[in-house]
Structure 1
Amino acid sequence: MRQPNTDSRYATLDGLRGAAAMVVVFVHFHALYHLPEIEHGYLAVDLFFAMSGFVIANAYDRKLSSGELNWQKYFVLRLFRLYPLYFAGLALGVAALAYRLPASDWHQIASAVPGSLLMMPSHAPLRTFYPLPEKLDLIYPLDFPAWSLFFELTASLAYGLFFRHLTTRVLVFIMCASGVLLGIAAYTSGLSNGVSWPTFYVGFARLGYAFPAGLLLYRFHRPARRRGSLSAIVIVVLAVGLLFMPWSTVHQPAVDLLIALIALPAIVWAACRVEPPARLLSLFAFSGAISYAVYVLHVPFAFMVQDFAYRSHLLQHPSGVSAVILLPGIVLLTWSVDRYYDTPVRRALLARSRGWLAAHPKRAAAADATMPQ
């Protein structure tokens, strides 16, 4: 019998991240290439938030509780993780829009750049240039999937600043309050929101439930119980199936809430208890490694390729075949960017900051050496 895996890396979560990123790609391809609608695919973002809570707790709970990291060092490390690929998506988004728009409209792109460089939302009037079902007033118009990164960064900052106050009771309270907001949002604006200014608050509700859920799942998780199993594949397939399943005959707000409040945390809980078979470890690791790049780069890349195809008369109208052809290009691009840009840049940032990161002594107070309860 294979011994339980107690490594800090969770391969099933890697596979789940890769699958969720591809779900997001197909959600956006629905608008770009007129593919069938994925009715609950937008909830992949909630799955990302929950997995993020678990993974961040796994990586930083003990370091923050022991004083090995203070909140400033922790937050800088999170910026090192998120910013390089975010910047790549931003640069590609600027290039895609500049290619799409006449030079006389480039000032609209420029108006969004300063805030975007700081990972801040923008009010730039670019909403009419995306082939979305509705002309949304996007909070990140240069690369609109980056909207969730703002909430990811907000969660990271709050986690670092208030770590010692995030007791189980506090986390449960935050989840309950956010769950109420999710219920209201589901029956008013819908849970697909948070990407635009009129529905900005929905992003906080989605984050406020899923991220603390991930933190709590880690606290109650027992790593020694993880074992290699084909059930890892079942978990990933189940997650994708939930998001792809056409629930058109069912009351959508209620189904959304069931998936967001119960099913997705349960999937993360199951995923962190098992590992894929050894022969699939590399595939799961690969999908996890490129998932962030896939998420942040696919929209501007797809827009640029589509516009080039139109101008070159290679494509007359959007089609599912175009989307299928584009998928290998997205995988190749994101793998290349991850390997030859993101990883080297993050290593360089860590190397340059090593002295500063090591400069702060560990806290010795007994209160600082305890975990929130």
Structure 2
Amino acid sequence: MASAPRPSLPALTGLRFFAALHVVAFHVTPREGRPGWLGAFLDNGPASVTLFFILSGFVLAQAYLGSASPGPVSRRAFWMARLARIYPVYLLGLVLEAPPFFLAVLRQEGGWTLPALQRLLGVGAAVTSLTQAWIPAAACAWNCPGWSLSAEAFFYLLFPVLAGPLVRLGAKGLGWAAVCLIASSALLYGLWFAGAGGWAGEAAHPETWLRVGEYSPLLKLPQFLLGVVLGRAFVLRRPEPSPGTSGGGLVAAGTALGLLWVSWPGQTWAFRDVVLTAVFAWLIWTLACGHGRLATFLARAPVVRLGEASYALYILHVPLAFHARTVERWSGAALEQRAPWGYSALAITSFVLVALAVHAWLEEPARRWLRNRWTRPRPAPLPVVSGLL
């Protein structure tokens, strides 16, 4: 079926930019001389990926399950649309990150040896097929942020299959589904940590076991499904007579709780994500309702524009950081050593400008071109004429 008209949720688009910015700051901002809460906030940059997973499910539900009684989701059309959306910029990220990845492998393996070629081909096959999140050694080897796109690819495969059962749930059933998904996410993380400390110890080293869980699409699946359930429930909600003032308080409370938890030092990533799964779900719902000053700010045109370019910022910032450092070293300016915070601010600003350009000149044109090419009507077959092949 064709997707329903997509509702405008500008505040959620603006939110994407600040989530991506958090991940960028995690990778490129120095930690020296910062207070403990700021260091914890920066170190917890990967928490924003949890927000992306929930938000992805919410937005897809709005786009494809956005009517009271939607029909089945066309699998081919959905998968082609998703591929056209993510792959052009994802491929650009792989190309830009190829030099440091190749150099690292050749240095570690002692040149163009057979192990080096095997590693290059193995990781290359995983990242180009978007399966690296299933392989711990490859998950973060070539443009690390791409592991989350690998998990998203798995979610995209499941979405058309799971959409049918979800649309048959009423508001009450969706509410229970959301509770069960939050609980199942906590249970899966708990089992994973228990395995690292006990019953899985014989099969894998605890650090390896935790590393697998950090990237496992199976552990992230409840977060995505929670977003889908919330998105479908948002479609079925009763219209509100007026925006009121209580909604703004809910947005402020959700934001404050999220920032407090992300800035709390000494957390494990699993415990952090268990709590933030519920907090982010709350924040996304209240922002989608458009209440409060934060929602108004995030819905402003410049912020929305930055949010539209957030995917390019997220997937390109690691290779851009490598090339920025290379240029900085060749120039001899030593800005990163003399003024690390100034260098980081300059680098992040340049990354945002590059992301805006890539979104306007590559991401959107490539997406439109691919979708038009893949959805072009096929010509009718020529009639069969007797006596001719």
TM-score normalized by the length of structure 2: 0.72
C-alpha distance in 2 between matches for 1:170 and 1:277: 30
Q: Specify which of 367, 370, 386 is matched with residue 346 of structure 1.
A: 367
1:207 equivalent in structure 2: 220
Letter matched to residue 200 of structure 1:
V
Amino acid at match of 1:181: L
Asked if structure 1 preserves the Cα contact closer than 8 Å seen for 2:254 and 2:279, the reply is no
Inter-CA distance 322–220: structure 2 relative to 1 (3 Å threshold): same
Query: Could you tell me which residue of structure 1 aligns to residue 50 of structure 2?
Result: 46
* 2:188 aligned residue: 181
Asked if 2 retains the 8 angstrom alpha-carbon contact of 1:16 and 1:236, the reply is no
State the Cα distance separating 1:311 from its structure 2 match: 3.6
Give the secondary structure class of the aligned counterpart of 1:59: helix
Greater displacement, 28-37 / 215-224: 28-37
Task: Report the 3-state secondary structure (helix = DSSP H, G, I; strand = E; otherwise coil) of the residue aligned with 2:334.
Answer: coil
Q: Confirm or deny that 1:336 pairs with 2:357.
A: yes
AA aligned opposite 1:209: P
- Amino acid of the residue matched to residue 231 of structure 2? Y
How far apart in 2 are the matches of 1:357 and 1:260? 47
How does 1:56-205 map onto structure 2 within 5 Å? 56-62=60-66, 66-67=70-71, 69-98=73-102, 104=111, 107=117, 109=120, 111-121=122-132, 137-166=137-166, 167=169, 168=174, 173-185=180-192, 199-202=211-214, 203-205=216-218
Distance 1:197 1:312, change over 3 A: farther
User: How far has the Cα of 1:149 moved from its partner?
Assistant: 0.7
Tell me the alpha carbon deviations over residues 337-365 of structure 1, each in whole angstroms, 9 at most, x when there is no partner.
00000100111112212335999xxxxxx
Identical-residue share of aligned pairs (%)? 22
- The partner residue of 2:265 within 229, 247, 265 is 247
Letter in 1 for 2:156: S
Tell me the secondary structure at the aligned position of residue 220 of structure 1.
helix
Indicate how the Cα distance of structure 1 residues 254 and 307 shifts in structure 2: closer, same or farther if over 3 A, else same. Answer: closer
| 1:270 match | 286
The one-letter amino acid of 1:292's match is Y
* Pairing 1:308–2:299 present: no
Q: Which moves more between the two structures, 80-89 or 305-314? A: 305-314
For residue 277 of structure 1, give the secondary structure of its aligned residue in structure 2.
helix
Pair 84,64 (structure 1): closer, same or farther in 2 beyond 3 Å: farther
SS of 1:113's equivalent? helix
Find the aligned partners of 1:138 and 1:242 in 2 and give their Cα distance.
33
Q: Which has the larger radius of gyration?
A: 2
Counterpart amino acid of 1:25?
V
Q: 2:64 and 2:341 mapped to 1: Cα distance?
A: 42
Q: d(CA) in 2 for partners of 1:21 and 1:99? A: 27
Q: Pick closer, same or farther for the CA change 1:65–1:296 going to 2, 3 Å.
A: farther
Note if contact 2:133-2:150 (Cα within 8 Å) is conserved in structure 1: no
In 1, the alpha carbon distance for the partners of 2:99 and 2:329 equals 17
CA distance in 2, matches of 1:327, 1:223: 41
CA distance, structure 1, for counterparts of residue 312 and residue 184 of structure 2:
32
- CA distance in structure 2 between the partners assigned to 1:27 and 1:355 by the alignment: 42
* Matching residue's letter, 1:247: P
CA contact (8 A) 1:146 1:296 kept: yes
- How far is 1:207 from its partner? 1.8
Task: Supply the AA of the counterpart residue of 2:186.
Answer: G
Which letter maps to 1:264?
Answer: F
Tell me the distance in 1 between the aligned counterparts of 2:61 and 2:133. Answer: 30
Moved more, 42-51 or 198-207: 198-207
1:227 to partner: Cα distance? 4.7
Q: Does 1:55 align with 2:54?
A: no
1:295 is matched with: 314
Of 337-346 and 8-17, more deviation after overlay is shown by 8-17
1:16 aligned onto 2:18: no
The aligned amino acid for 1:268 is I
Indicate the larger mover: 284-293 or 96-105.
96-105
Work out the number of aligned pairs and report it.
337
1:219 pairs with one of 212, 220, 232: 232
State whether residues 115 and 121 of structure 1, in contact with CA within 8 Å, keep that contact through their aligned partners in structure 2.
yes
Match of 2:305 in 1: 286
- Looking at structure 2, the residues matched to 143 and 177 of structure 1 have their Cα atoms a distance apart, in angstroms, of 30
Which TM-score applies when normalising by structure 1? 0.75
Q: Which residue of the partner structure matches residue 327 of structure 1? A: 348
Structure-2 change in CA distance of 1:199 and 1:255 (3 Å) = closer
Check the 8 A contact 2:65/2:232 in 1, yes or no.
no
- 1:146–1:197: structure 2 CA closer, same or farther, 3 Å change rule? farther
Aligned to 1:129: none
> In terms of mean alpha carbon deviation, does 36-45 or 226-235 score higher?
226-235
| SS of alignment partner, residue 143 of structure 1 | coil
CA distance in 2, matches of 1:160, 1:28: 34
Contact map agreement 2:181 2:226 (CA 8 A) in 1 = no
Matched to 1:309, the amino acid is E
Unaligned runs of 5+ in 2: 198-207, 381-389
1:73-95 per-position Cα deviation (integer Å, ceiling 9, x unaligned): 11111111111111111111114
- How far apart, in 2, do the equivalents of 1:303 and 1:235 lie? 38
